Amino acid sequence: MPRYQARVLVHLRPSVLDPAGEAARAAASRLGVDGVERLRIGKAVELELEASDEAAARRSLELLSDRLLANPVIENWTLELTQS
């Protein structure tokens, strides 16, 4: 069975306030790094899985991302998939 490596990136939807991102942005200027206009914090989920082919791996990961890793009410996600 082929093995795949995947990374699911979960982002807050643009309309959702990210107070943690705002706090980190404020800290950036206290560090002396100016010019950071936007800072949004998301999650990166790294996975390794076995699947019969790439399409099957993608189906599993889409289900996982939609139903578990991200909450579509407040988050979007993107998927990177490579065969290992």
Partner 1 sequence: MSIGVVVFPGSNCDRDVRWATEGCLGMPTRYLWHEERDLSGLDAIVLPGGFSYGDYLRCGAIARFAPVLESLLSFVSAGGRVLGICNGFQVLTELGLLPGALTRNRDLHFICEDTPLSVVSGRTPWLSSCGGGRRFSLPIAHGEGRYQCSDDTLKQLQDDDAIALRYCSNPNGSVSDIAGITNASGSVLGLMPHPERACDPQTGGTAGRAILEALLS
Map residue 83 onto helix, strand or coil: strand
Instruction: Give the binding range for partner 1 (CB under 8 A) out of 1-9, 28-36, 47-55, 69-77.
Output: 69-77
69 touches partner 1 by CB under 8 A: yes
Q: With binding defined as CB under 8 A, does residue 23 bind partner 1?
A: yes
Half-sphere exposure of 70 (CA within 13 A, CB side): 24
CA distances from residue 54 to 2, 9, 18, 23 in whole angstroms, order as listed: 9, 19, 34, 40
If one asks whether residue 26 binds partner 1 (CB under 8 A), the answer comes out as no
Query: What residue ranges bind partner 1 (CB under 8 A)?
Result: 16-17, 19-20, 23, 68-69, 71, 73-74
